């Protein structure tokens, strides 16, 4: 039956997201079930190695990791989401699409990964990479190939709507540059945003509508970067008198901090307790960072938007559900010689 459910999900995702496109769809399934058809693989790397530029790889729900990926061609990788047991009405199959570490290396320009639990690092060492709606359990490297240890110049990257539990690190070394990066609507529950190497190598960095720090406000996580626009973010840390943010050459406005990190000029708010901002632990792990009724983050961002991951034009999506249709309910009943089935679907834009 799970095999049937996975097939339903696969058909809907492909039909809605890629109608009228000529890319090859490649399925990855390691559940041990016998699955008929072509272009089916047991690891993410195997699907990648068999692919051509522009192909789409669908990681079907599984309890087993699909392994590491070294990506050297432009691909779209789609998973099932995460924290699905905590958010039971979003997907019929509650299993995640789990990978190991993922590296976007030279040749992968234009790639996108969404809806996956990346149980390792995510390394962006090519231009025009989109990492969205993933749960990432280790460092996100921008401008650095963590597989080879090499720095990389890149122009344009989008890291948005992710749940990240380690550092987002920008890497330059004097000979390389990182520019036109948007880091927005992420929850960095146990993570800072920092720079390793030359601050001068960064340009046109946008950091907006992120939550940085834990719900208790005692994590100490913050922002240490240069040449960035920093707006509509929440730093939860309540101690340290602002030591978790170094202004450097940044423009920062409409942010909220638990301590004095941003001051009170330019729409910034200081000394705001996280307990007054978020709904807290009655929701799912990521849903806990939604804004509570009366929150000081409601409507106090730039142009009246909400501050934090659930504000702005592209709010954080609970459980990282990818923006393809999904099945969230399936019912069947036997009536005489007939099997009647009802399938409930929703779009996830």
CATH of residue 141: 2.160.20
pLDDT digits (tens, 9 = 90+) for 6-26: 444 444 444 444 433 558 999
Q: Is the pLDDT of residue 200 over 60?
A: yes
Any domain includes 343: no
Helix/strand/coil for 160: strand
Under 8 Å between Cβ of 187 and 163 = yes
Any domain includes 181: yes
Any domain includes 7: no
pLDDT digits (tens, 9 = 90+) for 281-301: 877 999 999 999 999 999 999
Any domain includes 262: yes
pLDDT bracket for residue 342 (50, 70, 90): very low
Q: Which distant-in-sequence residues (6+ apart) come within 8 Å of 236 by Cβ? A: 211, 212, 213, 214, 215, 216, 217, 219, 221, 258, 274, 277
How confident is the prediction for the chain on average, in pLDDT?
88
Number of domains in the chain: 1
Any domain includes 13: no
Cα–Cα distance for residue pair 80/325, rounded to 1 Å: 11
pLDDT bracket for residue 344 (50, 70, 90): very low
Cα–Cα distance for residue pair 223/59, rounded to 1 Å: 33
Any domain includes 348: no
Any domain includes 154: yes
Cα–Cα distance for residue pair 201/178, rounded to 1 Å: 6
Any domain includes 339: no
Buried b (16+ CB within 10 A) or exposed e, 240-256: bebebbbeeebebebbb
Amino acid 323: pLDDT: 73
Amino acid 296: pLDDT: 98
Could you tell me where the beta strands, DSSP code E, fall in 17-101?
A: 25-28, 40-41, 56-59, 69-71, 76-78, 98-99
Which residue range is the domain that position 241 belongs to?
25-323
| pTM of the predicted model as reported, rounded to 2 decimal places | 0.88
Cα–Cα distance for residue pair 307/47, rounded to 1 Å: 39
Q: Is the pLDDT of residue 51 over 90?
A: yes
């Amino acid at each position: 039956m799970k095999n049937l459910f996975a097939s339903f999900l696969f058909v809907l995702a492909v039909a809605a997201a890629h109608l009228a496109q000529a890319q090859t769809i490649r399925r990855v399934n390691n559940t041990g079930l016998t699955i008929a058809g072509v272009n089916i693989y047991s690891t993410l790397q195997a699907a990648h190695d068999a692919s051509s530029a522009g192909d789409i790889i669908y990681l079907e729900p599984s309890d087993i990791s699909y392994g590491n990926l070294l990506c050297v061609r432009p691909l779209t990788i789609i998973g099932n989401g995460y924290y699905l047991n905590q958010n039971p009405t979003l997907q019929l199959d509650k299993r995640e699409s789990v990978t190991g570490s993922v590296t976007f290396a030279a040749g992968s320009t234009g790639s996108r990964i969404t809806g996956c639990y990346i149980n390792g690092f995510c390394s962006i060492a090519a231009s025009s990479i989109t990492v969205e709606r993933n749960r990432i359990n280790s460092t996100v490297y921008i401008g650095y190939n963590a597989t080879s240890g090499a720095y990389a110049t890149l122009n344009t990257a989008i890291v948005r709507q992710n749940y990240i539990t380690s550092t987002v690190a920008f890497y330059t070394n004097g000979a390389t540059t990182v520019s036109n990066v948007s880091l927005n609507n992420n929850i960095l529950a146990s993570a800072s945003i920092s720079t390793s190497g030359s601050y001068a190598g960064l340009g046109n960095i946008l950091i907006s509508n992120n939550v940085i720090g834990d719900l208790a406000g005692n994590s100490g996580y913050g922002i240490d970067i240069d040449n960035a626009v920093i707006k509509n973010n929440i730093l939860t840390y309540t101690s340290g008198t602002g030591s978790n943010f170094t202004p450097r050459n940044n423009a920062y406005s409409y942010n909220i901090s638990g301590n004095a990190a941003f001051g009170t000029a330019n729409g910034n708010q200081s000394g705001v307790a996280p307990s007054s901002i978020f709904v807290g632990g009655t929701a799912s792990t990521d849903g806990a960072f939604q804004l509570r009724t009366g929150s000081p983050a409601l409507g106090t961002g730039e142009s009246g938007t909400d501050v934090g991951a659930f504000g702005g034009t592209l709010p954080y999506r609970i459980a990282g559900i990818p923006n393809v249709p999904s099945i969230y309910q399936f019912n069947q009943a036997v009536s005489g010689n007939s099997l009647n089935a009802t399938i409930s679907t929703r779009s996830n834009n």
